[in-house]
Amino acid sequence: MKVVIAGAGFGGLRLARLLHHQPGFEVLLLDRFNYHQFQPLFYQVATAGLDASNISFPLRKVFQKSRNVRIRLAELKEVVPAENKIITTDEEISYDVLVLATGADTNFFGNAGLAAHAFPMKSTVEALQIRHRLLQLFEQAHRIREEAELQRVMNIVVVGGGPTGVEVSGALAEMKKYVLPKDYPELDFSRMNIFLLEGTGKTLSAMREKSSERARIYLERLGVKLMTNTLVKNYDGREVELADGNKIPAATVIWAAGIKGNIPNGLDKTIIARGNRLRTDRYCRVQGFENIYALGDLACMETPLYPNGHPQVAPAAIQQAELLAANLRLLEKKSDPERLHQFEYRDKGSMATVGRNLAVVDLPKPRLSFGGFFAWLIWMGLHLMLILGVKNRFFVFMNWLYNYITYDQNLRLIFREFYREEKSNKNNGL
């Protein structure tokens, strides 16, 4: 059975590893990047807490000794179901089974101004761009003499009060408190404002009321200006325009307010659900197809417990991959279709960190909600376990330990293409 997996996120990579060395399978894993990205820690790369290599793991290293898994570095452009093939940026690839695990991208909800000027954070590259942007602005700030312009540069707006927005806001607040005043003593960081804008009435809307309230208290303790029931209308690169008519001058806007599924061309539009997700049955099969499946953020599986689809989180993608791997093994052995397993999501809880010693955790069984230092330790331990590679876990832990002891980060580097700049200067007689 030739299985083509498009996407090496949590779901796609888990499925490939479960089919690794399985007799009867030929697996091809396709992705735009040659590495797996640990998305929950993008915000720490963006705020100079971790190096990008700490949360990225080469795909070819995962399958170095594999007899049946091959890697292709390309982007999926189109699916041709009638011919059982896909078209990528480089070639056409046939399949017996196609698994779409292409994840989700930033959703700007059709707003061209936000798409052009706001910074998304859905990849390691985008997280590095945010880091570069922030550091570059602070390097330039001491030369600004106009008060209004300086205030614009010192304002950072984060849009979206989900886990990503809460975590990046808390990390920025800690940079403001512990790191930036030492790096830039000529700047008055009491003028630096971190705004967290949320369209609904509370942050962490997927978590319980108690956890949401704790997160609000933690954010305000760190000095984050939390604004709920606040919708962003537009951003022109200089001012954030709110739906109520107010404006916030800001040189940096980090967009964490929405995602949409990465659906390739070639599939019927009628099977696309809200959020640009593909409708699937309880076996992860895309509606209308017998040999095309969808996992993770891309899949919208409506069940009695989750009528609007499962939460777009890593555990859901991993559990779907495990179910699909078991079912594909049964299909390869020509087992009775009635023996196939149906998916039921096992919610193990949710959590978010706000800053040093500050996190919130919801557990379903027993039904508990707690926060503070103990929740923060649980958050760190779980994320360390999920990171791929012993070396990556070690370096992440050592970075966290160093940051905790010293109240500092050592990754505030700005890399420029000096060769090109030098060449351009020479060409211009400089």
pLDDT tens digits, 319-354:
999 999 999 999 999 888 888 999 999 998 999 999
Q: pTM value? A: 0.91
Judge if 131 and 247 occupy the same domain. yes
Q: Sorting pLDDT into bands at 50, 70 and 90, what band is 419?
A: very low
420 part of a folded domain? no
248 part of a folded domain? yes
Judge if 138 and 246 occupy the same domain. yes
Judge if 179 and 141 occupy the same domain. yes
Q: Sorting pLDDT into bands at 50, 70 and 90, what band is 417?
A: low
Which of the listed residues 236, 257, 278 is the one where a domain comes to its end? Answer: 257
Average pLDDT over residues 36-61: 93
370 part of a folded domain? no
Which of the listed residues 257, 273, 290 is the one where a domain comes to its end? Answer: 257
Question: Based on the structure, what is the number of domains in the chain?
Answer: 2
- What does the pLDDT read at residue 389? 85
Average pLDDT over residues 281-306: 95
410 part of a folded domain? no
| Residues 222-266: tens digit of each pLDDT | 999 999 999 999 999 999 999 999 999 999 999 999 899 999 999
Q: Residue 72 burial by CB count (10 A; 0-12/13-18/19+): exposed, middle or buried? A: middle
Mean pLDDT over each residue of the chain, to the nearest integer? 92
Q: What domain range is 134 assigned to?
A: 112-257
Q: Sorting pLDDT into bands at 50, 70 and 90, what band is 421?
A: very low
- What does the pLDDT read at residue 365? 85
Judge if 251 and 154 occupy the same domain. yes
92 part of a folded domain? yes
| Residues 352-379: tens digit of each pLDDT | 999 999 999 999 988 999 999 999 999 9
Judge if 173 and 124 occupy the same domain. yes
Cα 338 to Cα 342: distance, rounded to the nearest angstrom = 10
